[in-house]
Amino acid sequence: MKKTLLTSAIALASIASATSSAQAAELTISCGAVGAELTLCQEGVSAWEEKTGHSVDVVSTPNSSTERLSLYQQILSANSSDIDVMQIDVVWPGLLANHLLDLREVLGEDAAAGHFDTIVTNNTIEGRLVAMPWFTDAGVLYYREDLLEKHGHDVPTTWQELTDIARDIKDAERAEGDDRMQGFVFQGRAYEGLTVNALEWVSSFGGGSVVDQDGEVTINNEKAAEALDLAASWIGDISPVGVLNYTEEEARGVFQGGNAVFMRNWPYAWSLAQSEDSDVRDKVGVTQLPAGGEDGQSAAGLGGWNLAVSRYSEHPEIAADLVAFLAGEEEQKRRAIQASYNPTIDALYQDEEVLEAVPFFGTLYDTFTNAVARPSAPTGDAYGRVSNAFFSASHDVLSGNKDGAQAVADLEGDLLRLKRRNW
């Protein structure tokens, strides 16, 4: 009798194991590889795998958001199930919505409860929640506290002050033998990152947001031209000519290597600048970006990334569960403490452990919640072409091919032609 019971138990266990194996899904998620992004994603995915028994293949994507969008569009246009979960930019929900799952249908109406309302609204297209907020971003200014103190300067509050201070410290450090010192590094390559940088300059001078909320083209104005001309004056002076090909990581490499006074970047660079192998560890301060002038204001470009499930996934419900786990409070807290990625859950900005790890999450809270959005909402499906036109025009000014006035006038014409066709 005992033998019969034991045999039955073994048989039942085998059936249960086989059933479990049959139910285990294999997913693929695409994650960025800027800074610690890929490592953090792999760690979060491993925790979910251990919890659920499913397996996930983590694939990295191009660092350039422009190249990443092109890759996604190719995959989705082919109705391919190659990628189940995609990390998408805050300006892409409208562009990709038709190919993405409505997460509320799977996770419930309260799927995004607790996340910033503005981001949830951004990710809701025609009533469908097509992406879950994962981390938000706003541009910030990094500076060398030690060098400002050494040379008797305060933290700049306007772009002109930054220009003057950067030049003074760069020249002084080079006179002392540091031939590699630069004044200011930023994202100057002709790609989406320059759209954000240039929008920050233009908006801080009171030059608008390229296209306003009503879809009207506003870029052709004196303030916008002035902002771009000032930025162009940096090239070969306080910024290296090579900055014309910098993305986030090239700028961080120069600054973290101790070779720049100021850097414009995203909050993720904080934890890396403070890492044990950083040449600027404990020498860095973070503040809001400078204003355009006495009549200007600080303007931080809104960034951030979300997680979306492809409509062509063979396991949409399981993929949505992975999204819910990675975007959940526990995982967002881990990412904030470990690598200074901004949570999209408001409660975490009052969390003592988070604020201890990243103090400026508290002091720059208003910066993160009032960041300037790119004109993706009013331009809809045309946003990619609008952005391309804007960063190309900005790059022309930085490169010395056009002055600000000519560039914004030409850009206005290009955008008006796009508007007639697409929005």
pLDDT tens-digit profile of 201-242?
999 999 999 999 999 999 999 999 999 999 999 999 999 999
| Section 43-60 average pLDDT | 97
* Confidence at residue 23, expressed as pLDDT on a 0 to 100 scale: 81
Residue 198, helix vs strand vs coil: helix
Together in a domain, 289 and 319: no
* Confidence at residue 64, expressed as pLDDT on a 0 to 100 scale: 86
Evaluate whether 41 touches 134 at the Cβ level (below 8 Å): no
Note if the pTM is more than 0.85.
Answer: yes
| Section 408-421 average pLDDT | 96
Sequence-ordered list of residues with C-beta below 8 angstroms from that of 90, at least 6 positions apart, any chain: 119, 122, 136, 137, 302, 303, 304, 305, 306, 376
- 53: pLDDT confidence band, cut at 50, 70 and 90? very high
Q: What is the mean pLDDT of the chain?
A: 93
Q: Is residue 19 in a domain?
A: no
Least confident span in 155-169, 178-192, 197-211, 373-387: 373-387
Together in a domain, 125 and 261: no
End residue of a domain, out of 350, 370, 390? 370
Q: Give 258-301 as a DSSP string.
A: T-EEEEEE-TTHHHHHTSTT-TTTT-EEEEPPPBSSTT--B-PB
- The letter for the amino acid at 367 is T
Together in a domain, 132 and 147: no
Together in a domain, 205 and 163: yes
Evaluate whether 302 touches 137 at the Cβ level (below 8 Å): yes
In this predicted structure, the answer to whether residue 6 has a pLDDT above a threshold of 60 is no
Q: Is residue 12 in a domain?
A: no
* Confidence at residue 384, expressed as pLDDT on a 0 to 100 scale: 92
Q: Is residue 20 in a domain?
A: no
d(CA 354, CA 335): 10
Q: Is residue 15 in a domain?
A: no
Least confident span in 182-191, 286-295, 319-328, 402-411: 286-295
Together in a domain, 248 and 185: yes
Q: How many residues comprise the chain?
A: 423
CATH number for the domain harbouring residue 345 = 3.40.190.10
Q: Is residue 9 in a domain?
A: no
In this predicted structure, the answer to whether residue 194 has a pLDDT above a threshold of 90 is yes
- 8: pLDDT confidence band, cut at 50, 70 and 90? very low
Together in a domain, 75 and 118: yes
| Section 139-156 average pLDDT | 98
Together in a domain, 191 and 272: yes
In this predicted structure, the answer to whether residue 15 has a pLDDT above a threshold of 90 is no
Q: Is residue 119 in a domain?
A: yes
pLDDT tens for 378-413 read: 998 899 999 999 999 999 999 999 999 999 999 999
Together in a domain, 350 and 391: no
Together in a domain, 260 and 186: yes
* Confidence at residue 65, expressed as pLDDT on a 0 to 100 scale: 87
* Confidence at residue 4, expressed as pLDDT on a 0 to 100 scale: 41
d(CA 4, CA 10): 10
End residue of a domain, out of 336, 352, 370? 370
In this predicted structure, the answer to whether residue 294 has a pLDDT above a threshold of 90 is no
More confident residue, 261 or 34: 261
* Confidence at residue 184, expressed as pLDDT on a 0 to 100 scale: 99
Q: Is residue 394 in a domain?
A: yes
Q: Is residue 13 in a domain?
A: no
Sequence-ordered list of residues with C-beta below 8 angstroms from that of 9, at least 6 positions apart, any chain: none
* Confidence at residue 7, expressed as pLDDT on a 0 to 100 scale: 40
Together in a domain, 191 and 269: yes
Together in a domain, 335 and 280: no
* Confidence at residue 161, expressed as pLDDT on a 0 to 100 scale: 98
* Confidence at residue 422, expressed as pLDDT on a 0 to 100 scale: 75
- The letter for the amino acid at 412 is E
Structural domain of 95: 26-137+303-370
* Confidence at residue 63, expressed as pLDDT on a 0 to 100 scale: 84
Residue 50, helix vs strand vs coil: helix
HEC per residue, 291-330: ECCCCCCECCEEEEEEEEEECCCCCHHHHHHHHHHHCCHH
Q: Give 98-151 as a DSSP string.
A: GGB--HHHHH-TTTTTTB-HHHHHHTEETTEE--EEEEEEE-EEEEEHHHHHHT
| Section 190-207 average pLDDT | 97
Together in a domain, 206 and 331: no
In this predicted structure, the answer to whether residue 2 has a pLDDT above a threshold of 80 is no
Strand partners of residue 3: none
pLDDT tens for 89-128 read: 999 999 999 999 999 999 999 999 999 999 999 999 999 9
What tokens were used for 103?
């997460």
CB atoms within 10 A of CB 335: 25
Q: How many domains does the structure of the chain reveal? A: 2
Residue 292: closest CA among 208, 379, 352, 348: 208
Evaluate whether 73 touches 37 at the Cβ level (below 8 Å): no
